[in-house]
Amino acid sequence: MSENSPPANPVLAPAPAVPAAKKTVVYVDGFNFYYGLLHERPDLKWLNYQRLAELLRPNDEILKVKLFSALVDQAKPVSEMRDRQKRLFRALGLQPKFGLILGKFAERERECLVYSCPNRRKFWALEEKQTDVNIAIHMVRDVAELKPQVMVLISGDIDLLPALKEVKRLNRTTHLSIFIPAPEAQLGRRRKDEMGNLGLVQPIPEKFLRMAQFPDRVPDGKGGFIERPKEWPSAK
């Protein structure tokens, strides 16, 4: 090559391939979630669970977000609490990847285990029924039908351990990611240790709960709006 020859075009290295987004299904234990993070936080109850899933797994392709819950005050002819819950379910139902699976509440007699309770006082408490079974059925069925690469369980209920073990038995390549709905400082070591044997266990940052709030007025697709209940003031 002479001194006056034009320089050869440089050979560019090929750009690294972008890994494909992992196909993911998210399962939310609604009762566990509510009493773990939302019960005393009305400012966070107007929550878009699909958006929360996208924040928790930002690099995944979310196939479905399944919320397992039950209607409160089912036996009452009138219930403001139930009306607020239904309003939230209506807003969630507009999200394209969201699915609601309802169980039911039942009363169960419980015994006070606190030493100071007089005569081991008994009381009646509500208990959500069918949720554990419903979650287990959907997870096992989805392994075969949806074939997700990642299954995200949002629950701290160790009764779901058999379902997680069955998922791994059916497909050892399925990655399990577990988010326990409780403030990080309150996470039980037992739950983290036992569930951690099957998948990565993490808390849910409160900033994501704030970021995943619906707007105060959600378009209903029919020219109207679903409005945030006044009892649930906007998060600051």
CB atoms under 10 Å from CB of 195, counted, come to 23
Model confidence band, residue 52 (pLDDT cutoffs 50, 70, 90): very high
Q: What angle do CA 158, 164, 169 make, to 5 degrees?
A: 145
pLDDT at 208: 97
Read off the pLDDT of residues 57-66 as tens digits, 9 standing for 90 and up.
999 999 999 9
> For the chain, what is the radius of gyration of the CA atoms?
23
The span from the CA of 106 to the CA of 74, in Å, is 10
Read off the pLDDT of residues 15-50 as tens digits, 9 standing for 90 and up.
666 678 999 999 999 999 999 999 999 999 999 999
pLDDT at 116: 46
Quote the percentage of the chain above a pLDDT of 70: 76
For residue 9, pLDDT over 80 is answered with no
Confirm if 157 and 75 have CB atoms less than 8 A apart: no
SS3 state of residue 151: strand
Read off the pLDDT of residues 128-178 as tens digits, 9 standing for 90 and up.
567 889 999 999 999 999 999 999 999 988 889 999 999 999 999 999 999
Model confidence band, residue 236 (pLDDT cutoffs 50, 70, 90): low
Q: What is the pTM of this model?
A: 0.82
Confirm if 208 and 55 have CB atoms less than 8 A apart: yes
Confirm if 4 and 132 have CB atoms less than 8 A apart: no
For residue 126, pLDDT over 80 is answered with no
Strand bridging mode 23-29 / 200-203:
unpaired
The full set of domains in the chain, from first to last, is 23-227 (3.40.50.1010)
Confirm if 216 and 228 have CB atoms less than 8 A apart: yes
- What is the four-CA torsion angle of 220, 40, 130, 126, rounded to 10 degrees? -120
Mean pLDDT score of the chain: 85
Minimal CA–CA distance to 66: which of 89, 91, 49?
49
The span from the CA of 179 to the CA of 193, in Å, is 13
pLDDT at 6: 62
The alpha helices in the chain, defined as continuous H runs, are 30-33, 49-56, 80-93, 131-145, 161-170, 189-196, 206-211
Strand bridging mode 98-102 / 61-69:
parallel
Confirm if 69 and 92 have CB atoms less than 8 A apart: no
CB atoms under 10 Å from CB of 203, counted, come to 18
For residue 93, pLDDT over 90 is answered with yes
